[in-house]
Amino acid sequence: MAQEMRATIHESLERKLNVLTDIVFYAGSVAIALLAGGLVMLVAGVSPIEAYKLIWDGAVGDANGFKETLVKATPLLFAGLCYTFAYRCGLFNIGAEGQLYVGALAGTVAALYVPGLPWYVHLPVCILAGCAGGAIWAGIAGFLKVGRGASEIINTIMLNYVAIYLVSYMVTGPMKEPGGTLPQTARLPDSALLGKLFDSRLHYGFLLAVAAAILLYFILHRTVWGYEIRAVGLNKQAAKVMGIPVNRNVLLVMMLSGAIAGIGGYAEIAGVQNRLFQNFSPGFGYDGIAVALVGGAHPLGNIGSAILFGGLRSGANAMQRMTGTSTSLVYVIQATIIILVVCNRYWFGGLKKRIIASLTARVVGRRSDARPEENVAVVLGIGEREGRS
């Protein structure tokens, strides 16, 4: 009995330590990535210290910088959640970019062509339209996967291009501002816009994104549906045998994942741009993958990593403003972060295990049984991919 108790304490402690070390090592990875980025700067002839100081000042240096960081974090969080949600169901939705575009398009259609509603009706209608747009776009890939077994990875990538051209066509053609010459739609009516927070560029979309993260966390970890999604994501075959409708879940998750990106797209339009035009997203959808990974494919973890990447972007903007250094550097830093985080287990897995073991041993006393190699992966949940067909 006592031993059982000890085992339970041991386990919960170990789990906490695991989360803790993960956070520490992820932070370490980010730090190393920044160092690597610094190296690239040196080669490119920029002073890394000065650049990072500018990035830091720009991102969190003052209230305005931080608000700007959150403005950037908003679409990134939506895109990260989009990737995360599909990932947890064993799907690779590389199509957040396209889904952002179509979401923005659908939301804008509702904003411009459903006139005369009070804001408390109009805004929700527009957001729902954005949802629907993203959901349909991702649903195409989901449908092709379920119905034809076509890889969602490739289809979502292809749909990104199609979406961007579709929006380009709409804003230069049918939805062009009446009487205007520019390739953009008319300004959205006030009733369709998202309000601003603290009298800055920060808008309610950010709160919407945080709410979406919490909702997804709740769905994944507290609900029956989330249980199904995770089971499908981890072991499709077993899920099927247990009676979980795999195909239905794949399709639904794909659609909800797209819907999240869809709101993200509309929020960017209704919160920041106020009208739709071509190429409004500078690759938020692709950055979302990095956000999801660094966030540990956990909805709440995404909030932190979206702010990190948002800060990186707004900081890099500040840096460019002051020194003219190209923001492309940020891509390099982002890529390095992704690589280091994904390979975390390979480089630091052993070290991490040893740290956890020695810490647990110090607190509870050593255990005799062997710890299979796989455990680390299970808790990490990253770099591991199960249940893919």
Partner 1 sequence: GGADSGGDAAEPLKVALLTPGPINDNGWNATAYAGLTLIQEELGAETAYSEKVGNSDAAEFIRGYAEDGYDVIIGHGFEYGDVMKEIAPDFEDTWFLVNSSTLSQEPNLASLSLNNSEQGYLMGSIAALMSQTGKVAAIGGSEIPPITKSVQGFELGAKETVPSIEVLTTMLGGDSDVAKAKETAISFIEEGADVVMTNANQAGLGGIEAAKQKGVLAIGSNQDQNPNAPDTVVTSVIQDYPQAMKVVVERISKGEMKAESQLLGVKEGAIYLAPFHGFEDKIPQETKDKIEAIVASLMDGVKVISNE
Partner 2 sequence: METEIILETLELVKRFGSFTANDRLSLAFRKGEIHALLGENGAGKSTLMNMLSGMLSPDEGQILFRGRPVAFASPREAAREGIGMVHQHFMLIPALTVAENVALGMKQGRSPFFGYKRACAAIRELSDRFGLDVDPEKRVSSLSVGQQQRVEIMKTLFRGADFIILDEPTAVLTPPEVKELFRVLRTLKENGKTIVFISHKLKEIREICDRVSVLRLGKLIGTTDQADTTSADLARMMIGRDIQAPIRRTRESGGRVRFEARGLHASENGVRLLKNISFGIREGEILGIAGVDGNGQRELSEALLGLLPMQAGSVLLDGEELGRRHPRRMTALGVAYIPEDRQKDGLVLQMSIEENLIAKEYRSAPFSRGGIVNKRKVKLNAEEQIRKFSVKAPGPGAPVGRLSGGNQQKVILARELMLNPGVMIAMQPTRGMDVGAAENVHRRMLEARDRGCSVLLISTELEEIMTLSDRIAVLYKGELLDTMDREEAELDRIGMLMAGALPNAAEAIIH
Partner 3 sequence: MNEEVVVSFLAAAIRLSVPLLLAGIGILFMSRSGILNIGMEGMVLMGALAGVVGAHYYGSMEAGLLASVLAGAFIGLVFAFLVVTTGADQVVIGTAINLLGLGLTTVFGRSLLGMGQEAVQAEGIPVIPIPILADIPYVGEALFHQNLLAYASFLLVPAAALLFYKTNWGLQVRAVGEHPLAADTLGIRVHKTRYACCVIGGMLAGIAGCSLSLGILNQFTENMAAGRGFIALSAVIFGKWTPGGTMAASLLFGGADALQLRFQSFGIQIPYQFMLMFPYLLTMIALAWFSGKGKQPAATAVPYKSLSNRSE
Q: Using CB under 8 A as the criterion, which residues of the chain lie in contact with partner 3 when the complex forms?
A: 40, 43-45, 92, 94, 144, 148-151, 153-155, 157-159, 161-162, 165-166, 168-169, 172-173, 286, 289-290, 293, 326, 328-336, 338-339, 342-343, 345-347, 383, 385, 388
Using rule CB under 8 A, residue 190 touches partner 1:
no
Using rule CB under 8 A, residue 297 touches partner 1:
no
Query: Which one, 199 or 369, has the nearer CB to partner 2?
Result: 369
Using rule CB under 8 A, residue 47 touches partner 1:
no
Distance in Å, CB of 150 to partner 3, minimum: 4
Residue 272's binding partner among ligand ATP, partner 3, partner 1, none (Cβ under 5 to 8 angstroms by kind) is: partner 1
Query: Which one, 151 or 273, has the nearer CB to partner 3?
Result: 151
Place of tokens 């795999």: 246
- Rounded Cα distance between 211 and 223, Å, is 16
Using rule CB under 8 A, residue 345 touches partner 1:
no
In 3D space, the residue among 1, 4, 13 whose CA is nearest the CA of residue 364 turns out to be 13
Using rule CB under 8 A, residue 152 touches partner 1:
no
Residues with Cβ within 8 Å of 38's Cβ and at least 6 positions away in sequence, in order, are 48, 49, 51, 52
Residues with Cβ within 8 Å of 189's Cβ and at least 6 positions away in sequence, in order, are 111, 112, 115, 122
- Rounded Cα distance between 101 and 261, Å, is 9
- 294: tokens are 């660094």
Query: Which one, 165 or 218, has the nearer CB to partner 1?
Result: 165
Eight-state DSSP code of residue 243: T
- Rounded Cα distance between 339 and 360, Å, is 29
Distance in Å, CB of 175 to partner 1, minimum: 13
- 386: tokens are 């199960």
Using rule CB under 6 A, residue 372 touches ligand ATP:
yes
**Among 20, 63, 322, 343, which residue interacts with partner 1 (rule: CB under 8 A)?**
322
- Rounded Cα distance between 176 and 184, Å, is 5
Angle at 153 between CA 147 and CA 158, to 5 degrees: 90
Q: Can you give the binding site for partner 1, defined by CB under 8 A?
A: 68, 71, 75, 165, 168, 172, 181-184, 187, 201, 268, 272-275, 277-282, 314, 317-318, 320-322, 324, 326-328
